[in-house]
Amino acid sequence: MLLASPRGYCAGVERAVETVARALDLYGTVYVRKEIVHNRHVVRDLQERGAIFVQEEQEAPPGATLILSAHGVAPEVYRRSRELGQKTIDATCPLVTKVHVQARRFAEEGYRIVLIGHAGHEEVVGTMGEAPEAIVLVESIADAEALSFSAGTKLAYVTQTTLSVEETAEIVDVLRRRFAGLRSPKREDICYATSNRQRAVREMLDEIQLLLVIGSRNSSNSNRLVDVARAGGIEAHLIEDASAIEERWLAGVETVGVTSGASAPERLVEGVCDWFRERGVEQIEQCRIVEEHMEFRLPVELRRDLEASGAA
């Protein structure tokens, strides 16, 4: 069995989960808008600690402490929360915030913006909310080929941070071929963790016959890891935890690869390893391609209150 490395928590997820945990210790009662990260185990753990999850800010009481998820929100969410007198703590991943800032700048400079992403994903909803009149969503090469703009339109693109690196590059190639002068972000929008986890899977494909990806169904980056394996001709399954493994998948398999999405805690990986150990697997090796050292500070609103309380 081979364990992909890096895998699991990225810096943005670490920050978001710690934000909720520290806020619970400091404030006692906190509300969280949407899932803080896309993993049901993480959400369940935080619920057991006392976090109250709501779908919209209006579901939290006026004056409540409201934590915004790692995926980011549209400006109107901040506005409504202010009107309710809520104390917001913004746990948006800084790399998502970078995309929001870039989209606003492009819009202010008069560009129409092509957003490459998945419709309905919370990150995409938040980014589109930054400049709804200026942004058009593209999900595929076919969408990119079908785009039409009037002559002289200034165009730029940004992307969701958790996409397939290869598929996004193909869409960007189409946009560049069709639209001369297309502006790009100063830095690639797909985050370091997404790129590294996809690369780690590609490095394993010649040595495995099956890939298990630990992550929730609504986790974009986890689904992309499955896609990477299948594109390389390797059978792959997305599983919430070890209980979802089906023994029939292992027929004729000599080496299994295991990885986890950026929102999946390492204990779920250990659970999968234990599942295989119980069935006689003794050799479990790391397939490491790069070390990750990225860290993000806690949201400024929380840091300020922690320092004032002496709990920093």
Residues designated as active site = 123
Maximum pairwise Cα distance, the chain: 65
Between CA 23 and CA 97 the distance in angstroms is 21
Helices (H), the chain: 11-27, 40-48, 75-83, 94-108, 122-128, 141-146, 165-178, 192-204, 220-231, 266-277, 300-309
Say which residues have a Cβ less than 8 Å from residue 197's Cβ, sequence separation at least 6: 4, 6, 7, 221, 225, 259, 261, 262
Contact in structure between 17 and 36 (CB atoms under 8 Å): yes
Task: Tell the residue number behind the tokens 């790129």, with chain if given.
Answer: 195
Crossing angle for the helix pair 165-178 and 192-204, to the nearest 10 degrees: 120
Contact in structure between 34 and 55 (CB atoms under 8 Å): yes
- Mode of pairing for the β-strands spanning 87-90 and 65-68: parallel
Task: Tell the residue number behind the tokens 């609103």, with chain if given.
Answer: 301
- Mode of pairing for the β-strands spanning 31-33 and 52-54: parallel
